[in-house]
Amino acid sequence: MNNRLLKSPSGDGAGATSVRRRRPHLRWLPLQVFGGAALSVLLGWLIAQGLELDQVLGDLRDFPLYFFALALGAFLLALLLRAWRWWVLFLGSPVGLRRLFLIQNAGVGLNNVSPVRVFGEAVELVLLSRQPGVSASLALATLATDHLMDLLVTAGVLGVALFTVPELRRLSLPVGAGVLLAAASVAALALLATGIPVLPGLRRLGFLRGALAGIRTLNASRLRLGLSFLGTLAYWGMLGLSGWFVGQGLGIEMEAAALVALLAGSLFFVSAVPSLPGGAVTFEIAVIYTLGLFDVPRGSALVFALVTHIIMFLPSTVIAGLVLPREGIKLFGRWRSVLSSANGPNAGPRPS
């Protein structure tokens, strides 16, 4: 290999050291990819046992298009609400809702086709940091708060569902673990945001220090957090309505609240378990198992899972396919400029 590729511009060999330091992390990538693929194949084989595939294909072919259109429309509105709940955290900053909608869905769409789901968040940070007046630390602060808000509401929805939907009480152990994870995440973020001076070495990380300072500012703005919380509730409500339309097309009678819990739990399961890109097969397993608690036949449950998965997968993936090439995004080579912008005048969100 050409030695110049492993040297820094100053010729001190720092580039080689950086490459060597990154290699241990990269070694886990094939294991995660192949492990997720193997698990998905195993789960797919389990799904196929005892299913009449001809009937499943027939149900898919005969699914009413108007219910599909209604479900898709409700989900698109949910995507808009998801972008809005992030946008309200930028009150006073020059970033438009339309631009944020495209950035967010470009990241989600990239995660849909990527074996490693952190790439989407990285792209969101890169695209958002290009906005005038938006530093990388501000972008990270709002992104972390947005994700934490979603985690809190998801855990809350699942927790309430355990007490209000008897069929879901068999899931008390995994749901309880999710609620504990949400509580631990909140506690950890609060500790980081309030304990900046006492964390060893943090003073040298201007980018991270600026992001944590931004999170503290956001936490002090009850208006922003309240609006984001309401937007998250509305997002999950529209997601449940989308699932309800799919259920109506298949003759599955379930309350929208139960469907919200079903989709929230299934998406949480996909995020926690290694799987194929887009949560293929893993999402279907979670939906089929949960619908089985409501005595829904496995064939109908599989059709419900497939239709819902298509609706939830395609929009963001299409947006990513349109937005990312136009942006000329490069995952490698921009991080130095992104990180250095954290020390600029916009290192954190301004108080509302």
Region 169-175: mean pLDDT is 74
- pLDDT over 50 (residue 151): yes
- Please say whether the beta carbons of 218 and 86 come within 8 A: no
Distance CA 27, CA 19 (A): 12
- pLDDT over 90 (residue 63): yes
Q: How confident is the model at residue 318 (pLDDT cuts 50, 70, 90)?
A: very high
Region 164-191: mean pLDDT is 71
Region 112-127: mean pLDDT is 81
Distance CA 88, CA 95 (A): 10
Q: How confident is the model at residue 155 (pLDDT cuts 50, 70, 90)?
A: confident
pLDDT tens per residue across span 254-277: 888 889 989 988 888 877 776 677
Query: For 116-125, 215-224, 342-351, which range has the lowest pLDDT when averaged over its residues?
Result: 342-351
More confident residue, 345 or 159: 159
**Both ends of the chain: CA-CA distance in Å?**
54
- Please say whether the beta carbons of 347 and 210 come within 8 A: yes
Q: How confident is the model at residue 145 (pLDDT cuts 50, 70, 90)?
A: confident
More confident residue, 66 or 23: 66
Tokens 């000329």 sit at which residue? 328
3-state SS track over 152-221 = HHHHHHHHHHHHHCHHHHHHHHHHHHHHHHHHHHHHHHHHHHHCHHHCCCHHHCHHHHHHHHHHHHHHHC
pLDDT at residue number 167? 83
More confident residue, 295 or 76: 76
Distance CA 252, CA 38 (A): 31
Query: For 129-143, 166-180, 192-206, 211-225, which range has the lowest pLDDT when averaged over its residues?
Result: 192-206
Instruction: Fill in the amino acid letter for 323.
Output: V
pTM recorded for the entire structure: 0.75
Chain centre distance of CA 176: 20
- pLDDT over 70 (residue 14): no
Distance CA 39, CA 273 (A): 9
pLDDT at residue number 68? 96
Distance CA 164, CA 260 (A): 13
Which of 184-193, 287-296, 329-338 shows the highest mean pLDDT?
A: 287-296
pLDDT at residue number 38? 56
pLDDT at residue number 317? 92
**DSSP state letter for 149:** H
Tokens of 202: 């943090």
pLDDT at residue number 328? 78
Distance CA 183, CA 96 (A): 32
Query: For 123-127, 159-163, 244-248, 340-344, which range has the lowest pLDDT when averaged over its residues?
Result: 340-344
- Please say whether the beta carbons of 293 and 300 come within 8 A: no
More confident residue, 198 or 66: 66
Region 317-332: mean pLDDT is 79
Q: How confident is the model at residue 213 (pLDDT cuts 50, 70, 90)?
A: low
Region 70-98: mean pLDDT is 91
- DSSP secondary structure of 92-144: TSS--HHHHHHHHHHHHHHHHH-SSTHHHHHHHHHHHHTSTT--HHHHHHHHH
